[in-house]
Amino acid sequence: MAATIGQLRILLGTLIPFACVVTYIRLYFRFIRGKLWWDDFWAFIATLCGIVFVAASLLHIQDGGNIPQHAQVSVYYMCAQFFYAVVWTVRISMMFTVIRLSIFGRVRQTFFLMVAVFFAVWLILFAQVWWVCERQPGWKDKPSPQCALGLDVAIAQLITDVISDLILIVAPIGLIWRVKLQPGMQVRLRTVFAATAIGTAVSLYHAFCVLRYSGIPEFTAATLQLAVSLIVVNLPVLVAVIFRLKSDDSEQDNVEPFSTVIFAGTRTRKTGDILTTFGAATMPTQFDTKINVRIDQSTKSTWTDSGAEDGSEGSRTVGSDKLELKSFVAQEVYPRQD
């Protein structure tokens, strides 16, 4: 048992801090390129939750003689709940990574809906821990209190892990099929697919340990799942950085531009996620927009006839200078760089 606790301490003291460092490297590259977005925010939140999990876990597995019993119970609850916090913030971050790579209005809306579903599942699992543990007598009085989560929690984790990871696997595949992507973007989407598959394998192992074991083996499996999750959530970004450095191509994050010809008018028209008012101004969007306008100039002259046959002065307009804005705007739309 002592060796197993020692292995757990090594995992807590090495893998998760290493995963946090990887996240900070990811944030650094995003920051210097001015591309921080919601996927980076949730990856950062995941690392904060991971740090709290490590601190609570180290308190939980040490000799509890110097810690009051009620504090040990609180530490166990922190371990259980911050485990869920890391797992689901990582999944939310990966879903936002897929969202920032997508360009279709309905597809993006569906992915945002999936983010809301992930939040709801997280809250349900959060409540389930309290529901299961508070009904069990006796575990809070043990020297190292730990609730036996049992079959219900294992089944809930298994179902939610499989469904959420399946969503994260199918989403990038759908994007690869629907749009023509540059090589850099294909690499990122395939990395999302591979990273999710790795996370799924580790989460299934943890669900098995919850069902079959308890105590330190279950804790070790949970720590391993968190470490792997915190590492794989950064793989799409780091792979993109490496790919860009090797290819020396700053446009590898872009979908190939598509063009839309829109005739001028006074109405507002929405194309995908683009909202543009023609004839007045162009509102800022999430896309980089280049508008080409052709202006034709024609010249006419005006002269005065002061020698008319009836003796009166008069003027005749032959023409005047005129600038004419043609009735079409050619618009090339580039999705926002990641």
CA dihedral 191, 247, 176, 262 (to 10 degrees): 140
**Average of per-residue pLDDT across 23-42:** 90
Considering 218, 247, 276, which residue would you say is the last residue of a domain? 247
Contact 41, 92 (CB under 8 A): no
Cβ contacts of 266 within 8 Å, gap of 6 or more = 278, 279, 280
Residue type, 266: T
- In this structure, the answer to whether residues 188 and 237 fall within a common structural domain is yes
Residue type, 278: F
- In this structure, the answer to whether residues 195 and 267 fall within a common structural domain is no
Say which CATH number the domain at 19 has.
1.20.1070
Q: Out of 66-70, 109-113, 286-290, 293-297, give the one with best mean pLDDT.
A: 109-113
pLDDT digits (tens, 9 = 90+) for 181-237: 555 566 666 776 677 777 778 878 877 777 777 677 888 888 888 988 898 888 877
- In this structure, the answer to whether residues 122 and 29 fall within a common structural domain is yes
Decide if 279 is inside a domain.
Answer: yes
- In this structure, the answer to whether residues 216 and 288 fall within a common structural domain is no
pLDDT band, residue 56 (cuts 50/70/90): very high
Decide if 58 is inside a domain.
Answer: yes
Decide if 31 is inside a domain.
Answer: yes
pLDDT at 280 over 70: no
- In this structure, the answer to whether residues 170 and 228 fall within a common structural domain is yes
pLDDT digits (tens, 9 = 90+) for 111-162: 899 999 999 999 999 999 999 998 887 888 888 788 887 788 888 888 998 8
- In this structure, the answer to whether residues 231 and 310 fall within a common structural domain is no
Number of domains in the chain: 2
- In this structure, the answer to whether residues 74 and 209 fall within a common structural domain is yes
Decide if 92 is inside a domain.
Answer: yes
> What is the predicted pLDDT for the residue at 116?
95
Per DSSP, the three-state class of 267 is coil
pLDDT band, residue 283 (cuts 50/70/90): very low
Q: How many CB atoms lie within 10 A of CB 176?
A: 16
pLDDT digits (tens, 9 = 90+) for 249-267: 443 443 333 233 333 333 3
**Average of per-residue pLDDT across 325-335:** 43
Considering 221, 247, 273, which residue would you say is the last residue of a domain? 247
- In this structure, the answer to whether residues 328 and 185 fall within a common structural domain is no
Which secondary structure element, helix H or strand E, spans residue 220, and what is its range? helix 216-232
- In this structure, the answer to whether residues 90 and 133 fall within a common structural domain is yes
Distance CA 288, CA 291 (A): 10
**Average of per-residue pLDDT across 158-176:** 81
Decide if 253 is inside a domain.
Answer: no
What range defines the domain where residue 64 resides? 2-247
Decide if 75 is inside a domain.
Answer: yes
Dig out the tokens for 194 from the structure. Answer: 């591979």
- In this structure, the answer to whether residues 185 and 292 fall within a common structural domain is no
Decide if 327 is inside a domain.
Answer: yes
- In this structure, the answer to whether residues 235 and 269 fall within a common structural domain is no
Decide if 97 is inside a domain.
Answer: yes
pLDDT at 329 over 70: no
Considering 213, 247, 281, which residue would you say is the last residue of a domain? 247
Annotate 288-322 with three-state secondary structure: EEEEECCEEEECCCEEEECCCCCCCCEEEECCCCE
- In this structure, the answer to whether residues 232 and 294 fall within a common structural domain is no
